[in-house]
Structure 1
Amino acid sequence: MIAEKPRKSFWQLFNLSFGFFGIQIGFALQNANMSRIFQSLGESLDNLPALWIAAPLTGLLVQPIVGHYSDRTWTRLGRRRPYFLAGAVLAALSLVIMPLAQSLLLAAMMLWILDASLNISMEPFRAFVGDNLRKDQHTMGYAIQTAFIGAGAVAGSLFPYLLTDLGVANTAPAGQVPDTVRISFWFGAVALFLAVLWTILTTREYSPEEMRAFAEAAPDAPDAQPIRALATRTLTSAIAWIAAGAVVIVLVWSFDLEKEVYLLGGLLGGYGLASLIAIRMARAGRDNSLLGHIVGDFSGMPPIMKRLSLVQFFSWSALFIMWIYTTPVVAQTVFGAMDASSPAYNAAGNWVGVLFAIYNGIAAVAALTLLPWLAARIGKVRTHALCLLCGAAGFASFLFIRDAQLLIVSEIGIGIAWASILAMPYAILASSLPQAKLGIFMGLFNVFVVLPQLLVATVMGSLLKALFPTEPVWTMAFAAAVLGLAALATLRVPEPDTAPV
């Protein structure tokens, strides 16, 4: 029996994650430009979070399902790579169509499709690295993946800015998207597809037999364990989730809260209903249902994953606030503009693209230099906590800086945090989870990336309107606070074993 996986060279690590370069170009174009597109099509500032709901909700639904099936897939193309290819084709098509939208409804629908497609490709990439690497290479493997994420985000964020310098029109009549954004999305579509294709053509995957030879797959079916556990559970917790969802819906109706908050109640009740059905199916002996496996694995997460999930919840709350509000914050506080069709506002939009490119560039460099160096000296957990504090300081500085160039300093701290958020939790998990279920657990871990985004999308608009309707800069104070909480929560996570396996 082979005791451990072969050690990968740098170029093998490079090929494993190069596809993420293209995927992140798609995410960067989405993150930096969707608020701008929505406002160009006539949407108001306080309604932006509702339109952004599509993206995290899609991830919530898609990633656990893709993770579940990618654990069980084996084709001539491999285990994870069929999902890379399908997602890349759909995402590229979405990027081509998105900037042609002439209505808010079509733009929101295309955001939903784009995000679903990016998630179909992205989720298996996390497990793909864990599948192919020994434990003592997990930190470097996810660091290289993070470097490609940063590089892809730099490219995607800079497209509109560079096109403006080349003389492409950066403004458009009301109800239309500027040419800089339209052409950027088309370039991004080509880059995304080619990058993912590179990884598909230059890598191979270990077969199920090889994985068993590495002694990482359990000798009998671990899939039955969560189903058996579900069958012994009472219905109390499921009913409690349903009741919690009903309470939220009643409160929204009674106090005339923002209608987007209905979604929060629907999600709580929906999870309770899914649990109720899964428990009854498990009691009936139906061991192979998708719902049963997902609910069973979610409720039976390993302790280290539960603690990291809280860290992710706080971290991604801050990030989603940044992606939604940075453009209006910078436009108002630095460029003195609130009209989305004005030249000053569009100049602010381009500068935000530069700022996003900077924090992603910092992340790419930090991932390959700072993170491995720190992790080797103080451990993965303390490294992550320290980096999150750097990000909190970066967000807090938006409250005081009124010079466009000085905001670059803010992005340094945010970039260090972003590097760690993309690398360290996954390196910790990949070293701690059973290999046979790495896909489903990585997919379920994404729930705690998505839930805070949904919470921000449903609640932040109401808070902005109620507390500071004309001063969106205070959203950055929320971001700084929750990232500080993420750093504190990290200190509860145990340091994983990194012995080669």
Structure 2
Amino acid sequence: MIKRKLSFWEIWNMSFGFLGIQFGFALQGGFMSRIFQTLGAGKEDIPLLWIAAPLTGLIVQPIIGYMSDRTWSPKWGRRRPYFLIGAILSSFALFFVPHSSALWMAAGFLWILDASINISMEPFRALVADKLPDSQRSYGFVVQTLIIGIGTWVASNLPWFVSKLGVSDTAEIGVVPMSVKVAFAIGAFVFLLSILYTVFTTTEYPPEDMEEFEREKAQKNQFIPNIVNNIGNMPLTMKKLGVIQFFSWFAFFTMWSMANPALTEHVFKTPAPVEATYNMNISEQKEAFDIANTAFQKSSNLVGSYMGIYGLSSMAFALLLVFYTAKRRINRKYVHMFSLLLGGIGFMMMKYIPSHEYLTISFILIGFAWGSILSMPYAMLSSSVDPKKMGVIMGIFNMFIVIPQITAAVGGVNFVSNLFGKETINAMMVAGLSLIIAALSNFLITNKNAITYQPETE
């Protein structure tokens, strides 16, 4: 099938749902550890509490990719039904997670939230490959990254913003502040609304050969053999990209799970107070706990706001690439390599900055890495796989995202961080080192089609 080139606004419309998806991810990434700490989790427990996120991705994404490859409705298309189902479930989970009254409830809602986000997210990656000719693939993934950057920045600043509007950061012991609850409620609304926008403004191409499509769809009990076959016959370029993805996502999982405890403690000097160290029956002790807890909650707002900067810089990075890739050829390999190196430097700076204002520089550099991670690997991959299997291939490729996160959650972060010392900030050093290894792994990529493309001439 010859696919026509789409205008910027057509690509924008089909990618707009990612705004909501990123609201979900940014609120989860910026504030779940804060919720866990508020409910009494120790710093060393946080990575394991996060295991729900990557584990659900490992299970859900290949299944959704396989199912969406075999879905077709003249009215709803192939990928859009999954956008909508995921959005409804994600909005429900986003609204209720900050209302958790115990750690097990928060961890359970994280399972629901991450599974639901994955139901929406994986088909979005496949949609770009479905809709765009090869010459526009980098452009399409970069537009997605632009929207993701907007979502990351806005969502990461929501608790700080609603706090500035007068919503309280103060709460009783074990209760999440109202500023966080309001922020998550706004995120739930934006998630659903943005997905609906894409669903109703985007059309999809039908299968090229409907008879063959129906025959494949009619085959029963083929899911496991199909997944195993595609993993066994994985293109070499995909395997090499998997190495890069492993170290990239190990780094970002470390940031999402550990940035709040690391930065509130090391940079802001306001660690989460431990209830057991205070005698709550003595009014002075109770007052001291409340003061320390409020300071922690306010500095957590600022950590979230600083984390939003990496979304903003990834957006600027994506915007530059949008203009450049619309007309010119890029070397995806070297763009990705240097972006990851900058991100690694940004992480490693955090241990040595003299004040929290310097976190702006760190997160700007991290944003370059994030912008590239969200576009360049997918652009390289989509140029080297069978278009008819794009959904399941993207789902399998996302295993290279979730496996490093599981590795980090079950002890990888704590083990490697402790090699540097007992300070929590060492987790950010681990993230930086991991990104630098990911950057150097780009030398493995040698497939010319993956590395670059030549835009079609008008």
The one of 401, 406, 421 equivalent to 2:373 is 421
Q: Is the 8 A contact 1:333 1:402 kept in 2?
A: no
Query: d(CA) in 1 for partners of 2:322 and 2:255?
Result: 23
Matches of 1:219 and 1:105, distance apart in 2 = 43
The runs of at least 4 consecutive aligned structure 1 residues that moved more than 4 Å come to: 217-223, 374-378, 464-470
Name the structure 2 match of 1:243.
none
Change (3 A) 1:438 1:218: farther
- Specify the alignment match of 1:411 in structure 2: 363
Give RMSD over aligned pairs.
2.4
- The CA distance in 1 between the partners of 2:180 and 2:426, in whole Å, is 28
For normalisation by structure 2, the TM-score amounts to: 0.90
Question: What is the match of residue 280 of structure 2?
Answer: none
Moved more, 468-477 or 190-199: 468-477
| TM alignment of 1:232-247, pairs within 5 A | none
Structure 2 Cα separation of the partners of residues 142 and 73 of structure 1: 23
- 2:246 aligned to 313, 317, 328, which one? 313
Matched pairs, number = 433
Matched with 2:453 is 498
Give the match's secondary structure for 2:351.
coil
1:293 corresponds to 2:226? yes
Cα deviation, 1:61-114, whole Å, max 9, x if unaligned, reads 000000011001012311000000000000001111111111111111000000
Contact 1:218-1:436 at 8 Å conserved across structures: no
Q: State the shift of 1:343 in Å.
A: 2.5
Correspondent of 1:355 among 289, 306, 320: 306
Moved more, 434-443 or 323-332: 323-332
Stretch of structure 1 that moved more, 333-342 or 193-202: 333-342
Unaligned runs of 5+ in 1: 224-285
* Match in the other structure for 1:379: 331
Whether contact under 8 Å (2:70, 2:213) holds in the other structure is no
Q: What displacement does 1:290 show?
A: 1.1
Render the CA deviation track for 1:136-191: whole Å, top value 9, x for unaligned. 10111000000111111111101000011111111211110000110111111110
* Inter-partner Cα distance in structure 2 for 1:482 and 1:131: 32
Q: Secondary structure at the match of 1:208?
A: coil
- Summarize the Cα distance change of 1:395–1:221 in structure 2 as closer, same or farther, 3 Å threshold: farther
Q: 2:57 matched to which residue of 1? A: 59
C-alpha separation in 1, matches of 2:371 and 2:419: 32
- Pairing partner for 1:366 from 304, 317, 322: 317
Structure-2 separation of matches of 1:467 and 1:434: 43
Change (3 A) 1:174 1:220: closer
Q: Percentage identity across aligned positions? A: 44
Structure 2 stretches of 5 or more lacking a match?
274-291
Report SS of the residue matched to 1:491: helix
CA contact (8 A) 2:19 2:151 kept: yes
AA aligned to 1:358 is I
The residue number in structure 2 matching 1:89 is: 88
For the Cα contact (< 8 Å) 1:318–1:479, is it kept in 2? Answer: yes
Deviation at 1:222, TM superposition (A): 9.2
Q: Is the 8 A contact 1:49 1:461 kept in 2?
A: yes
Aligned-partner SS, 2:45: helix
Deviations 1:258-279 (A, max 9, x none): xxxxxxxxxxxxxxxxxxxxxx
The answer on 1:431 being equivalent to 2:383 is yes
Q: Could you tell me how far 1:368 is from its partner in structure 2?
A: 1.7
Counterpart position of 2:22 = 24
- Separation of aligned partners in 2, 1:467 and 1:12: 49
CA distance in 2, matches of 1:63, 1:162: 33
User: For 1:187 and 1:474, how far apart are their aligned partners in 2?
Assistant: 33
Instruction: Supply the AA of the counterpart residue of 1:322.
Output: M
- Residue matched to 1:277: none
Aligned to 2:276: none
- Deviation (angstroms), 1:287: 7.7
